[in-house]
């Protein structure tokens, strides 16, 4: 983050030097001494001493506009941006509409990635303040990004005949997925200082395999009897254990729109709309009657053959095309309460042709008043067609070096049909996803160029169906699978 340059007008500096401001319930002389001391420390940029002096002053009940301005500037210089916000807000209480306090509050908000919240100050700025703020009214490009990811799964061959066909070894079926790539890209821009908009797309192609285990009927030659006139053939009806795979291409094309609005310097709303078009075919089995035949007798004299025929039950496989147009619509709020930001959201949508409704609540905690260290924790309640599930999410971020950020995130619970990150990520996989871990490294190469590398681990359950022990019932079982994803991204900041 760039070092914040602090500038005061000559008028403001002289005012701070000679005008003590309002003092609460204190004699004039002590306040003048404290005021002179704090101003001297301000001129020396002795921020630590200034903060300690101000603490003593406030303990004695001394509080006024210029003290808050000095404290705010000291907090900015020490990268305690939330502390700076507090002091500049208080300065505006002492002196409503003060353009210096508004300008510094806008700087503090922007430094803490509260862009649209800082834009909420735009109507309060005069012409000079708007020109010096760095904010612009109208279309402004912010950033553009592109990512590519590779997913590696630990089971891309499916179950063996013995495991898939059940205890009786009669029949079973499952669907599994191969390794795949995916792509996404997007563009952030502003239309005015209070609005931050985003448009992007995602592109996913996966090979999905439908695997069947079944018994294939066959006639097995048991013996041959020969006489003077010909040969007689004797058969037994057998069943050959067999597995067969059918590959299908799953495609997902999706577009995403997001809008963030700064309702005030303390409140932000973020809405997201994710529209997905998914195509995936399925192979299904159907029981049929199969006629098996072979030679039962061959007459050597006439050269004629008599056929043996028998009818048995068998299977045939057909492909069913399937397409769905799904969507996820979310609305979230951020209420800034000092070092803690209260998070709340609601979402609804149609995912895999099922109606989904979700609620979420949590917090963002910045212990040092800046984005260099933070924790974001949320709880989600997702209801799909009347069935509810709880999901826990927690993310920790640190900035160990000036141009390096590290993040780690864990999610636990049944993740299916969850819309996360304002609906940007939708968990629409048929597999039951239970645990997700992600680590992210972000590295700024220049002020304009940022690179990201992510590692993601996902633990899931895959369903398969087989015939139960009684040989009649069709049951569903699961087994554990894991996937690992590596994502590389690039971001250009305008």
Q: How far apart are CA 272 and CA 492, in angstroms?
A: 22
Question: Which H/E stretch holds residue 19?
Answer: none
- Residue 241 phi/psi, 5-degree rounding, is -60, 130
pLDDT digit string (tens) for 319-357? 999 999 999 999 999 999 999 999 999 999 999 999 999
155: tokens are 């089971």
Averaged pLDDT for residues 271-300: 94
Query: ∠138-143-146 over CA atoms, to 5°?
Result: 140
444: tokens are 């700024």
pLDDT band at 27 (very low <50, low <70, confident <90, very high): very low
- Residue 33 phi/psi, 5-degree rounding, is -65, -50
Cβ atoms of 266 and 208 within 8 Å: the answer is: no
Averaged pLDDT for residues 216-240: 93
Q: Which CATH number fits domain 141-215+241-286+318-493: 2.60.120.10, 3.40.720.10, 2.40.160.60, 2.60.34.10?
A: 2.40.160.60
- Domain positions in the chain are 10-112, 141-215+241-286+318-493
- pLDDT at site 4: 39
- Residue 123 phi/psi, 5-degree rounding, is -65, -20
Crossing angle of helices 65-77 and 47-59, in 10° steps, is 140
Equal CATH topology for 10-112 and 141-215+241-286+318-493:
no
- pLDDT at site 26: 35
Query: Longest Cα pair distance anywhere in the chain, in angstroms?
Result: 138
User: What residues form DSSP beta bridges with 483?
Assistant: 153, 458
16: nearest Cα among 26, 25, 6? 6
- pLDDT at site 333: 99
CATH 3.40.50.300 fits 10-112, yes or no: no
11: tokens are 């008028």
373: nearest Cα among 342, 339, 347, 348? 339
* Torsion sign, CA atoms 372, 51, 335, 380: positive
Cα–chain-centroid distance for residue 427? 9
- pLDDT at site 17: 35
pLDDT digit string (tens) for 57-108? 999 999 999 999 999 999 999 999 999 999 999 999 999 999 999 999 999 9
483: tokens are 């996937």
| Mean pLDDT across the chain | 92
- pLDDT at site 1: 39
pLDDT digit string (tens) for 394-443? 999 999 999 999 999 999 999 999 999 999 999 999 899 999 999 999 99
User: What residues form DSSP beta bridges with 34?
Assistant: none
pLDDT band at 167 (very low <50, low <70, confident <90, very high): confident
- pLDDT at site 33: 81
pLDDT digit string (tens) for 168-195? 899 999 999 999 999 999 999 999 999 9
Cβ atoms of 474 and 439 within 8 Å: the answer is: no
DSSP conformation class of 64? -
Averaged pLDDT for residues 33-50: 92
Query: ∠105-394-260 over CA atoms, to 5°?
Result: 40
Is the pLDDT assigned to residue 222 strictly greater than 70?
A: yes
Cβ atoms of 415 and 384 within 8 Å: the answer is: no
């Amino acid at each position: 983050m760039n070092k914040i340059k602090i500038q005061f007008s000559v008028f403001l500096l002289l005012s701070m030097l000679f005008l003590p401001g309002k003092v609460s319930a204190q004699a004039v002389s002590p306040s003048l001494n404290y005021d002179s001391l704090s101003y001297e420390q301000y001129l020396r940029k002795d921020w630590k001493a200034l903060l300690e002096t101000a603490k003593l002053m406030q303990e004695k009940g001394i509080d006024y506009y210029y003290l808050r301005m000095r404290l705010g500037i000291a907090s900015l210089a020490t990268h305690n941006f939330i502390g700076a916000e507090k002091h500049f807000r208080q300065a505006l209480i002492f002196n409503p509409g003060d353009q210096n306090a508004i300008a510094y509050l806008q700087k503090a908000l922007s430094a803490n990635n509260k862009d649209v919240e800082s834009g909420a100050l735009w109507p309060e700025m005069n012409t000079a303040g708007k020109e010096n703020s760095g904010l612009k009214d109208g279309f402004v490009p912010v950033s553009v990004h592109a990512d590519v990811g590779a997913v590696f799964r630990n089971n891309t061959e499916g179950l063996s005949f013995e495991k898939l066909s059940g205890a009786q070894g009669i029949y079973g079926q499952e669907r599994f997925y191969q390794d795949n790539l995916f792509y996404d890209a997007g563009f952030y821009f502003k239309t005015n200082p209070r609005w931050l908009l985003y448009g992007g797309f995602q592109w996913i192609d996966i090979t999905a395999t439908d695997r069947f285990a079944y018994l294939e009927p066959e006639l097995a030659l048991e013996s041959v009897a020969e006489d003077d006139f010909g040969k007689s053939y004797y058969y037994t009806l057998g069943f050959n254990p067999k597995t067969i795979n059918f590959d299908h291409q799953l495609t997902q094309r999706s577009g995403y729109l997001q809008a963030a609005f700064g309702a005030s310097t303390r409140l932000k709303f973020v809405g997201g709309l994710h529209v997905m078009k998914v195509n995936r075919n399925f192979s299904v089995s159907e029981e049929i009657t199969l006629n098996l035949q072979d030679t039962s007798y061959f007459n050597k004299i006439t050269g004629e053959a008599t056929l043996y025929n028998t009818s048995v039950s068998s299977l045939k496989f057909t492909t069913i095309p399937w397409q769905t147009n799904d969507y996820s619509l979310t609305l979230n709020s951020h209420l800034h309460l000092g070092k803690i930001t209260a998070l709340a959201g609601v979402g609804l949508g149609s995912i895999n042709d099922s109606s989904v409704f979700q609620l979420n609540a949590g917090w963002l905690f910045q212990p040092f008043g800046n984005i260099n260290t933070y924790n974001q924790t949320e709880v989600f309640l997702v209801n799909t067609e009347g069935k509810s599930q709880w999901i826990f999410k927690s993310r920790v971020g640190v900035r160990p070096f000036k141009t390096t950020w590290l993040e780690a995130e864990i999610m636990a619970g049944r993740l299916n049909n969850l819309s996360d990150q304002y609906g940007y990520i939708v968990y629409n996989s048929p597999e039951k996803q239970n645990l997700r871990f992600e680590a992210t490294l972000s590295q700024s190469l220049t002020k304009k160029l940022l690179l990201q590398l992510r590692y993601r681990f996902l633990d899931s359950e895959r369903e398969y169906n087989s015939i139960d022990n009684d040989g009649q019932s069709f049951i569903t079982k699961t087994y554990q699978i894991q996937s690992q994803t590596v994502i590389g991204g690039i971001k250009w900041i305008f």
